Structure 1
Amino acid sequence: MPESENGTPNVSAPATPGTPGAPLFSSIRVDSLSYDRKSMPRCNKCFSVESLVSSPTCLIDFPRPDVSLTRKLGAEFVGTFILIFFATAAPIVNQKYNGAETLIGNAGCAGLAVMIVILSTGHISGAHLNPSVTVAFAVFRHFPWVQVPAYIAAQVSASVCASFALKAVFHPFLSGGVTVPSISILQAFMLEFIISFNLMFVVTAVATDSRAVGELAGIAVGATVMLNILIAGPGTGGSMNPVRTLGPAIAAGNYDGVWIYLIAPILGAVTGAAVYTAVKLRDEVDAPPRRSFRR
């Protein structure tokens, strides 16, 4: 037994029965929606003139993540399934029961679904739930390009599975959950672009900026989704997400205006991420950290 300097043995106090050997809460802060703010080194070569000649290995030079890709894809599949099922079920129930949900109910279901999925799986997969988010993160080097196809495949397959589950449960009312524009094509495109811009602007803030309140990412993003649907729901269905439209369209066989929902959200998301990246405070600016309600 080791002794102290005065010759007396060091005897540690026995653990209290029922007390875990490790602390209940780790001091490490994990933010939802973020691949890892500190583990994703920026590669300035990717956007430089030299990259046209030197061809840096931007597709493979990311550190090995702590979570396996299989677990990430599993969490992304389950999270996207939950989102599509409940976000699509609300307008279906609204149609079946003669307006029981209302527009506020539809928006609330989608916002709550996003919030609970981010809070429950954000630490595993980042809870993208949306190909637009995945692509925008990859464009600005917050997510590795090599994982983008796998993430999108998981999101699309989850959307299709959720849509056919809805078809089995609510047939023949699935058409109520299909996002179809009730306004002109140009208006629908612009509306989906703007709400996707709004969504990704907020996502980029809470997921990539250490000064933002990252612990509240689920609430912030869920509230943004709800706000967007309250405005765009009557005109376009408030998709913001290619798989929110694609899965129900496949299950219902209704592809009216589907290209709008495949292109506008991606363009809007990339633009939203670009604008926030342009306006956010730089590391060299001595700005006080933002406080969250957990501190």
Structure 2
Amino acid sequence: MKEVLQKQFVACYSEIAAESIGTFILVFAGTGAVMVNELSHGAITHLGISFVFGAVVAALIYALSHISGAHFNPAVTLAFWTSGFFPQNRVLPYILAQCGGAIAASSILFLSLGSVANMGATLPLHDNWLQSSILEFVLTFILMLVILGSGLDRRAPSGFAGVAIGLTVGLEAAFMGPITGASMNPARSLGPALVGWVWQHHWLYWIAPIVGAQLAVVTYRHLSHNFRDTVQSLKLESKQ
């Protein structure tokens, strides 16, 4: 019995550590690119920053998804839980690990680069919080729909989830980053906000992504017949 409990603890510890490390790398690379772009007077460019965010997400999915599921995002963790693919007792540890990793990344960036470009914090363009709330909601809905369709549905081609999700993050950062910061991730927004002490409209970068991800769960549950294979769903319906 003790051996079983020890194995469960080690497994949970490994998952939580992977989430913290993965979110650290995501924020370190992504917001680091924002800061270096400012320091280098635009050498990276906005499209370059978008590429960094998308590429690091893809790389982390392939590196750590087999350990923790590669959430790296409180909105994604909550969505996995409500969809029935994630246990309730690990929701809070995952979210705390993600936030801790993001804060650690922003802290190291502050120590190494200084207070530059608001630490890469996400801020609504012209303080238009309503516009950014709507857009962050839609962006996270799209991202979560791609995650569910490419990463969880058994009918999806295997091995392409990282590419699909990374491309989605990069694409959305490219076309909406100048308006909202294209966070889609409360932890990604929390790290720079806390370390740089930039809290303007920070609440929307929690509420909009979480609600958007939840709507994606509801939508994909309907499209996939409650996350079952379409063939299986049709067989079950024919027997009723």
Q: TM-score, normalised by structure 2?
A: 0.89
Report the secondary structure of 1:100's partner residue. Answer: coil
Kept in 2, the 8 Å contact 1:67–1:124? The answer is no
Rounded to whole Å, the distance in 1 between the matches of 2:105 and 2:119 is 15
Report the secondary structure of 1:68's partner residue. Answer: helix
Q: 1:228 aligns with which of 172, 175, 192?
A: 172
Question: Which residue identity lines up with residue 139 of structure 1 in the other structure?
Answer: T
1:226-265, aligned counterparts within 5 Å? 226-265=170-209
Kept in 1, the 8 Å contact 2:119–2:192? The answer is no
Rounded to whole Å, the distance in 2 between the matches of 1:169 and 1:66 is 35
Kept in 1, the 8 Å contact 2:33–2:52? The answer is yes
Kept in 2, the 8 Å contact 1:156–1:243? The answer is yes
Rounded to whole Å, the distance in 1 between the matches of 2:84 and 2:218 is 11
Rounded to whole Å, the distance in 2 between the matches of 1:284 and 1:194 is 26
Kept in 1, the 8 Å contact 2:115–2:196? The answer is no
Task: Note the aligned Cα RMSD (angstroms).
Answer: 1.8
1:19-58, aligned counterparts within 5 Å? none
Q: 1:89 aligns with which of 32, 40, 48?
A: 32
1:93-143 Cα shifts (integer Å, max 9, x gaps): 111111111111111000011011100000000010000000000011010
Aligned to 1:10: none
Q: Which has the higher helix share?
A: 2
Report the secondary structure of 2:160's partner residue. Answer: helix
Q: TM-score, normalised by structure 1?
A: 0.73
Kept in 2, the 8 Å contact 1:199–1:225? The answer is yes
Aligned residues: 224
Rounded to whole Å, the distance in 1 between the matches of 2:139 and 2:112 is 30
Kept in 1, the 8 Å contact 2:110–2:119? The answer is no
The answer to whether the aligner puts 1:186 opposite 2:130 as a matched pair is yes
CA 1:180 to 1:275, structure 2 compared with 1: closer, same or farther past 3 Å?
same
Q: Percent identity?
A: 40
Aligned to 1:30: none
1:212-250 Cα shifts (integer Å, max 9, x gaps): 123111111000000110121000111000011111000
Rounded to whole Å, the distance in 1 between the matches of 2:145 and 2:10 is 26
Kept in 2, the 8 Å contact 1:180–1:236? The answer is yes
Superposition deviation, residue 76 in structure 1: 0.9
Aligned to 1:113: 56
Question: Which residue identity lines up with residue 195 of structure 1 in the other structure?
Answer: L
Rounded to whole Å, the distance in 1 between the matches of 2:37 and 2:230 is 51
CA 1:284 to 1:213, structure 2 compared with 1: closer, same or farther past 3 Å?
closer
1:130-181 Cα shifts (integer Å, max 9, x gaps): 0000000001101011100000010010010000011011103151511111
Aligned to 1:135: 78
Kept in 1, the 8 Å contact 2:81–2:91? The answer is yes
Question: Which residue identity lines up with residue 183 of structure 2 in the other structure?
Answer: S
CA 1:284 to 1:95, structure 2 compared with 1: closer, same or farther past 3 Å?
closer
Larger Rg: 1
Q: 1:283 aligns with which of 205, 225, 229?
A: 229
Rounded to whole Å, the distance in 2 between the matches of 1:102 and 1:271 is 33
1:58-115 Cα shifts (integer Å, max 9, x gaps): xxxxxx9797100101111111110011111111111111111111111100001101
Rounded to whole Å, the distance in 2 between the matches of 1:284 and 1:232 is 34
Aligned to 2:90: 147
1:158-211 Cα shifts (integer Å, max 9, x gaps): 010000011011103151511111141111000100000010000011222100
Bigger relative contact order, structure 1 or 2 (CA pairs below 8 A, ≥6 apart): 2
